[in-house]
């Protein structure tokens, strides 16, 4: 039985290797100065490992598959040999060559990838262009490289118009799909702003119930949506101040709804208990609204809304543009929450 399992494992390994070679990339490397037996890694910007190889006579071969046709990775060596990574390498599913020197590891030369060639051309143009002219230079570059698998990566403004003009291959690339997601997020926010209210979304309570944010908001004059996480120091430090505001104004029509972006429900529940959180709290694992709807890239984040779900003020670090429908008397939300709620609930504000 053990022999059969071993044979099956070997078969799967061979099958996966052949499959990767026929559909993915083969990277043949030659870096002068690399000793025999050095472990070489291809890693993503998130530090995930795509492929591993051992060097022999300064040469090595890496196999793998690039999801979304093209993306950038970094070459790394054993940390006891070199504790830095290479320049960004835009890989495609093809045969590629990489060469350079260990003492110039930040300037390796990749051949066989049109996406990498486009990236290098763009870098040269960017370095040669004065800062005040770079946006115009970028748009000119985009317009002349609509078929490039790299182009979607640099599009940040005029998203939808620029995206629509890309080739199908570029649209379906990894960064093309990321760009499409940003466009869809922006559409949701824009529609919500035109309607005068946030898009409704659901969170899961500590007892497993699905809770509608707009339903919660409809019961109070004003609701603060607090995006946080158990591992976020500033979020936890802010808890006593939030408790103070909540206790002062909850009976007058103010509420807080905590939206945790924790992956671990146990860590989330433990943090709630430790911080003595008194308001409704839910974990954002039903619709991943913080990221998918609001494009949130960091916590804490705050949205102050009224009974109809209209945004009074927003304080979000987001990958998309979230307009502040109203800036309440030019006051920072996180630093002036008590004063803002006090004024909103006063007789003259009703």
User: Mind listing the pLDDT tens digit for each residue in 243-277?
Assistant: 999 999 999 999 999 999 898 999 999 999 999 98
- Nearest to residue 263, comparing CAs of 230, 301, 234? 230
199 DSSP assignment: P
- Nearest to residue 33, comparing CAs of 101, 99, 80? 101
| Residues 25-39 pLDDT 10s | 999 999 999 999 999
- Nearest to residue 256, comparing CAs of 231, 298, 219? 219
Evaluate whether 63 touches 21 at the Cβ level (below 8 Å): yes
The contacts of residue 314 (CB under 8 Å, 6+ apart) are 302, 303, 304, 322, 323, 324, 325, 333
* pLDDT under 70: residue ranges of the chain: 1-22, 80-83, 156-161, 182, 184-197, 287, 292, 295, 297, 317-334, 347-350
Residue 289: predicted pLDDT: 74
In the β-sheet with 296-306, what is the strand arrangement from edge to edge? 210-212, 202-205, 280-283, 254-260, 222-228, 296-306, 311-318
- Nearest to residue 117, comparing CAs of 136, 145, 143? 145
Residue 273: predicted pLDDT: 92
Residue 177: predicted pLDDT: 79
Dist. CA 53–CA 37, nearest whole Å? 9
Dist. CA 36–CA 57, nearest whole Å? 6
Dist. CA 29–CA 230, nearest whole Å? 43
End-to-end CA distance of the chain: 77
Dist. CA 88–CA 34, nearest whole Å? 19
Q: What is the largest CA-CA distance in the chain?
A: 82
Residues paired with 53 in a beta bridge: 40
- Nearest to residue 302, comparing CAs of 251, 235, 236? 235
105 DSSP assignment: G
| Residues 226-240 pLDDT 10s | 999 999 888 898 899
User: Going by DSSP bridges, is the β-strand pair 210-212/59-64 parallel, antiparallel, or unpaired?
Assistant: unpaired
Residue 47: burial class (beta carbons within 10 Å; 0-12, 13-18, 19+): exposed
Dist. CA 112–CA 316, nearest whole Å? 41
């Amino acid at each position: 039985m053990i022999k059969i399992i071993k044979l099956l494992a070997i078969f799967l390994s061979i099958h996966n290797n052949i499959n990767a070679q026929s559909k993915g990339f083969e990277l043949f490397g030659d870096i002068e100065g690399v000793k025999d037996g050095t472990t070489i890694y291809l890693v993503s910007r998130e530090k995930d490992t795509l492929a591993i190889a051992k060097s022999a006579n300064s040469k090595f071969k890496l196999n793998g598959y690039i999801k979304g046709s093209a993306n950038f990775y970094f070459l790394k060596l054993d940390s006891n040999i070199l504790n830095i990574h290479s320049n960004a390498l835009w890989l495609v599913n093809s045969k590629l060559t990489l060469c350079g020197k260990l003492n110039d590891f930040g300037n390796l030369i990749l051949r066989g990838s049109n996406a990498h060639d486009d990236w290098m051309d763009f870098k040269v143009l960017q370095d040669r262009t004065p800062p005040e002219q770079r946006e115009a230079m970028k748009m000119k570059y985009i317009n002349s490289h609509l078929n490039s698998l790299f182009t979607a990566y640099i599009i940040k403004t005029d998203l939808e118009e620029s995206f629509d003009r890309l080739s199908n291959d570029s649209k379906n690339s990894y960064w093309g799909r990321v760009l499409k997601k940003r466009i869809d997020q922006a559409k949701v926010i824009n529609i919500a702003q035109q309607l005068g209210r946030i898009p409704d979304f659901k969170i899961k309570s500590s007892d497993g119930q699905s809770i509608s944010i707009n339903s919660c908001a409809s019961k109070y004059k004003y609701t603060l949506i607090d995006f946080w996480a158990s591992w976020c120091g500033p979020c936890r430090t802010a808890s006593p101040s939030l408790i103070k505001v909540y206790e002062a104004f909850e009976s007058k029509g103010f509420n807080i709804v905590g939206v945790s972006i924790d992956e671990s429900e146990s860590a989330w529940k433990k943090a709630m208990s430790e911080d003595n959180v008194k308001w409704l709290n839910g974990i954002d694992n039903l619709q991943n609204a913080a990221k998918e709807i609001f494009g949130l890239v960091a916590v804490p984040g705050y949205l102050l809304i009224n009974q109809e779900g209209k945004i009074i003020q927003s304080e979000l670090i987001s990958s998309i543009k979230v307009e502040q429908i109203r800036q309440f008397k030019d006051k920072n939300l996180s630093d002036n929450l008590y004063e803002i709620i006090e004024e909103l609930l006063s007789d003259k504000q009703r």
